[in-house]
């Protein structure tokens, strides 16, 4: 019995109340705190749900080899487009084909070259000049 009494919480303190408070005051303090806690809990729950959806989306994209690769490429291309000016859009068949190296090339106006291996053309659509910072987009 004695130990149970020691464990007993200070319920007045929980409500921010005093033993001298009237029943109406106690009720008012209880309702105020309960509403506040409910509002905080709802906001937290909403944030958790939002986070969960985000985490779930990230996993859906990155947890799959194919969508992850697509995402990585997309990111890389977004960065390229942001960092470098796009020179022009070129159809693959308009580039020079080098049979020996299995390489498509195009002269840049700076005198440098854009080159992309045939094996890369499936994954790569933006190619940087080997000399300047211009980029071309390959259309297929
Ligand atoms: Zn160039």
Query: Which residues sit opposite 96 in a β-bridge?
Result: 105
Q: Which fold has domain 83-139?
A: Microbial ribonuclease fold (3.10.660)
Taking only the tens place, the pLDDT of each residue in 30-67 is 999 999 999 999 999 999 999 999 999 999 999 999 99
- What is the rounded distance in angstroms from the CA atom of residue 36 to the CA atom of residue 73? 47
Q: What string of DSSP letters covers 116-137?
A: EEGGGTTT--EEEBSSSS-EEE
> Which tokens go with 66?
């194919």
Residue 140 and residue 120 in contact, taking contact as beta carbons nearer than 8 Å: no
pLDDT tens digits along 107-120: 998 899 999 999 98
Distance 73 CA to ligand 1 centre (A): 22
**If DSSP codes are grouped into helix, strand and coil, which group holds residue 10?**
coil
What local confidence, expressed as pLDDT, does residue 121 receive? 87
Grade residue 83 by pLDDT with cuts at 50, 70 and 90: low
83 CA distance to ligand 1 middle (Å)? 15
CA of residue 52 relative to chain centroid, distance: 13
Query: What's this model's pTM, rounded to 2 decimal places?
Result: 0.42
Distance 128 CA to ligand 1 centre (A): 8
What is the 69 CA–ligand 1 centroid distance (Å)?
Answer: 28
Higher pLDDT: 3 or 104? It is 104
pLDDT of 2 reads 53
């Amino acid at each position: 019995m004695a130990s149970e009494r020691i464990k007993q919480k200070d319920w007045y303190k929980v409500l921010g109340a005093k033993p001298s408070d009237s029943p109406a005051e106690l009720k008012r303090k209880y309702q105020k705190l309960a509403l506040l806690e409910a509002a905080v809990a709802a906001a937290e729950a909403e944030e958790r749900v939002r986070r969960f959806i985000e985490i779930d989306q990230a996993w859906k994209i990155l947890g799959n080899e194919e969508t992850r690769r697509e995402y990585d490429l997309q990111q890389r291309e977004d960065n390229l487009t942001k960092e470098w000016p796009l020179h022009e859009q070129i159809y693959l068949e308009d580039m020079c084909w080098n049979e020996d190296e299995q390489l498509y090339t195009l002269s840049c106006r700076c005198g440098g070259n854009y080159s992309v291996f045939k094996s890369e053309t499936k994954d790569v659509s933006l190619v940087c000049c080997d000399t300047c910072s211009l980029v071309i987009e390959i259309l297929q």
